[in-house]
Structure 1
Amino acid sequence: MLSDDIHGQLTMEFLILLGFSLIISIPLIISVADSNELNQAMAASRTGALDGSLSDGLAVYPGDAFKDYEVEHVRLVNPSCVKIIKIDYINQGLSPAYNKTKIQLRIHASAPQVTDKLDRNCLGDRINFYARKKICESFHTENLTNSLFNPAFSNNYVFTTADIRWM
């Protein structure tokens, strides 16, 4: 038996180390959970944007949009190549309206065959819609937003989308 152990020295050192470990671990766990939520939302937005670009590329639209496109955006009723280049975001700080951190998604895409600005806006609106929709589906917050999923919500964030940046 060690002489220090007689006076409880080893027990006190162990408790101090355990206390410091807890003090360091709890904030670390909280920050990892927050970054995990943001990563999950970004992955969902990427999947949604890819779904939107696929429907744009194949010219698959809901009936009312297709009828509108046949009249006003004839180029969009034919298949085209729409690619998602990257998705990044801007942290806009705490939103007082929702008491959550506001994140604005910026999606960069390419559609070389579609040169008309109004046609690109239609394509971009659909891509943004699917990105926001997928975030809501991922966090089961469809009931917290409107029919356009704008804004999209997670537990700690509120997401909006900027206009697509065409390359």
Structure 2
Amino acid sequence: MENKGQISIELILIIGFITLMILGIASFIGEDNELNQAMSAARSGAIEGANIDSFAIYPEEAFKNYTVEHQRLLSQSNIKIIKIDYVNQGFKEEYNKTKIQLRISASAPSVTEISDRNALGDRVNFHARKSICESFDASSQTNEMFNPAFSNRYVFTTADVIWI
């Protein structure tokens, strides 16, 4: 008779221990998943920005500016995103989130002027930040340049594009 009660207690202890382990692991996976989702969104946005730059498709205001200052950008060019990595800059009290700075490396052999590359890089960075905001439905939390971009646990900024 005594064995029947012991099996139930052991089963409850095992199930409780497994549940605690799953909850502990899930919190770590959730944080990694959010950062992976943001990095994936940033890559997608950077590629979109590079494609828009490659095809020389710009909003009217940018087109007018490029007509005066960046004539080279009005024709097609070949822009390739090489890599995207990030630097964790720690927890920032002003946002109550961890700050992540994205660093995008790109190549554009046909664009040699530094000012033209900076203009292209600004557009690539803009689309990377915009894509993060759209991915986390956080467009209302930032400005029209999507700088900084927000997720639930992180705030994202971008460094100047590194041209290779």
Fold shared per TM-score above 0.5: yes
1:56 aligned partner: 53
1:4, 1:10 within 8 Å by CA — same for their partners in 2? no
| One-letter identity of the residue aligned with 2:111 | V
- Unaligned runs of at least 5 residues, structure 2: none
Q: CA deviation at 1:4?
A: 5.3
Q: CA deviation at 1:101?
A: 1.1
Q: CA RMSD in A?
A: 1.1
- Unaligned runs of at least 5 residues, structure 1: none
Q: CA deviation at 1:34?
A: 1.4
1:92, 1:104 within 8 Å by CA — same for their partners in 2? yes
Q: Does 1:154 align with 2:151?
A: yes
- Superposed CA offset, 1:75-129 (max 9, x none): 1111000000111111111111111111111111000011111110000000000
1:132, 1:159 within 8 Å by CA — same for their partners in 2? yes
| One-letter identity of the residue aligned with 1:13 | E
1:73 aligned partner: 70
1:1-167 equivalent positions in 2, closer than 5 A: 5-6=3-4, 8-167=5-164
Greater mean alpha carbon deviation, residues 56-65 or residues 144-153: 56-65
TM-score (norm 1): 0.94
Equivalents in 2 of 1:4, 1:118: separation in Å?
83
Equivalents in 1 of 2:61, 2:142: separation in Å?
22
Q: Which runs of 4+ in 1 moved over 2 A?
A: none
Q: CA deviation at 1:46?
A: 0.8
- Superposed CA offset, 1:109-152 (max 9, x none): 00001111111000000000000001111111100000000000
